[in-house]
Structure 1
């Protein structure tokens, strides 16, 4: 039984691969450049691209279960649908898909709407699937560590509703647990959706307060400025992507990323331990500076 992981060298995909290896799974990783993959020993690394049908057909040969992760790119929806169709052609019935929380609520945000469309196609195509819906990744805040420490501000416009931030390591472990559960099941398991959230729902002010406590000095939250956020992002990403991120941040302000009742308890039970907290994450990344 072989589990194919797409996006295997990214923040989440790498965690999924490592957790699957720990569980003794037969892992195949789809990557663009095998020479740079640097994945654990024993992983079958194959070269391919989600728009290259021939490489996908080769990668899917003999696969029993798929972990589908699509990067936020302009043709994300097309990539996902091609992968799903090739999977079905290859006889793959078991699937774990990394979507996003509130994909059905943030309907004007391109990459949210795209992931919700993929969820619908997974259902209509009849896959034996778990859909994982993660909230904001704590790990995104690695990119702002120097801004926080250097300028004394927490710059992410996350608002006052709150985001249930989750550590990518927890996402990877939960994904691996679900992949192994489906891969080893002798019978077809019912479809499932799991909100992936952290133990705390953090506002901008609360996130700044945690940084203040960890660093031992005041870190301010300057307020909610999606337009300024877009402007900053355009310095290092395409304009369409920066605008997509702005639209997302606007929904942070109006809706937040709020867990449903029982989400945290379900994940703690699934992991057999408490979810990692944002405070512990900040302490870890500042200690390693």
Structure 2
């Protein structure tokens, strides 16, 4: 049995489908099973990572756990690691971040610190582990969907910031291989997973326009203005400002590109254009 946290998120939903396609039994955790709309083959269970007491029962009998901070944050993820140990889970595959390095002193931004702390907890657990250190998610472009639908203009503080955006299906594919690993080949490995190309945010917006057949462009605004406009209870202004400062450091550089998807799965990583084709309805 494989337990998937964040099962209704972009990566989790894809992961559930890929594991089921491989014939693996899947227990999908979600706060709202009635609205999960996951494949019929999955055992959908109500669970909340922010409530540690609810975790150990749903982890009993599981061989492996896919752990995603997006399902509850760093503190909840660390509690999930403890619950996994108590429940007798053998392996954890952690959805981590490219921001984490193997030099803790070099992890000088909040993304690295947050994910790095959970990586440390997983390492200290004594369980088998694999880290999937994903690059910037292609799905982050969904934040532009409303602007593109309504005006075709994306307001962004750093149009020339670069990322090698990775498709959620590729992150799920790497995680699937690690979760089903029967040889130990992926135990103790930290895989940096990116898309196959470095693109500026401006170039990404242009790709969206080309795929949907409508003109699109980026209008530069200040970090302060962007943070004010986009702040939400789950993504406060100060966090956004930290993100924007990270984006600024990539202007004029090429984002790192790895061949991890091909190496682990045997096929090339999907391009950003392929991701847009998969999600074109969101932008029309």
Smaller-chain TM-score bracket: 0.7 to 0.9
How far 1:188 sits from its partner (Å)? Answer: 8.5
1:228 maps onto 2:225 in alignment: yes
Q: CA 1:147/1:66 → structure 2, altered by over 3 Å: closer, same or farther?
A: same
How far 1:286 sits from its partner (Å)? Answer: 3.4
Per mean C-alpha deviation after superposition, the further-off stretch among 213-222 and 124-133 is 213-222
Match of 2:128 in 1: 128
1:242 maps onto 2:256 in alignment: no
CA distance in 1, matches of 2:208, 2:52: 46
How far 1:247 sits from its partner (Å)? Answer: 0.8
CA distance in 1, matches of 2:208, 2:29: 37
TM-score, with length taken from structure 1: 0.85
1:13 maps onto 2:12 in alignment: yes
Match of 1:103 in 2: 100
Match of 1:199 in 2: 196
Where does structure 1 differ by over 6 angstroms across 4 or more consecutive aligned residues?
none
How far 1:62 sits from its partner (Å)? Answer: 0.8
Match of 2:265 in 1: 271
Match of 1:32 in 2: 31
Helix, strand or coil at the partner of 1:38: coil
CA distance in 2, matches of 1:107, 1:72: 24
Match of 2:153 in 1: 153
Per mean C-alpha deviation after superposition, the further-off stretch among 80-89 and 63-72 is 63-72
Q: CA 1:205/1:251 → structure 2, altered by over 3 Å: closer, same or farther?
A: same
Identify which of 277, 280, 283 aligns with 2:274. 280
Q: CA 1:214/1:61 → structure 2, altered by over 3 Å: closer, same or farther?
A: closer
The answer to whether the Cα contact below 8 Å between 1:100 and 1:132 also exists between their aligned partners in 2 is yes
CA distance in 2, matches of 1:52, 1:238: 20
Helix, strand or coil at the partner of 2:170: helix
Per mean C-alpha deviation after superposition, the further-off stretch among 117-126 and 2-11 is 117-126
CA distance in 2, matches of 1:22, 1:159: 39
After superposition, what is the alpha-carbon deviation per residue over 1:51-73, rounded to whole angstroms, capped at 9, x for unaligned?
32332111111111110012276
How far 1:203 sits from its partner (Å)? Answer: 1.1
Q: Structure 1 unaligned runs (5+)?
A: none
Helix, strand or coil at the partner of 2:160: coil
How far 1:222 sits from its partner (Å)? Answer: 2.3
How far 1:151 sits from its partner (Å)? Answer: 2.6
Structure with the higher strand share, 1 or 2: 2
CA distance in 1, matches of 2:157, 2:23: 41
CA distance in 2, matches of 1:240, 1:209: 26
After superposition, what is the alpha-carbon deviation per residue over 1:104-153, rounded to whole angstroms, capped at 9, x for unaligned?
466332x5421111112212223311111111211221231331353333
Q: Structure 2 unaligned runs (5+)?
A: none
TM-score, with length taken from structure 2: 0.86
Helix, strand or coil at the partner of 2:155: coil
Total equivalences in the alignment:
277
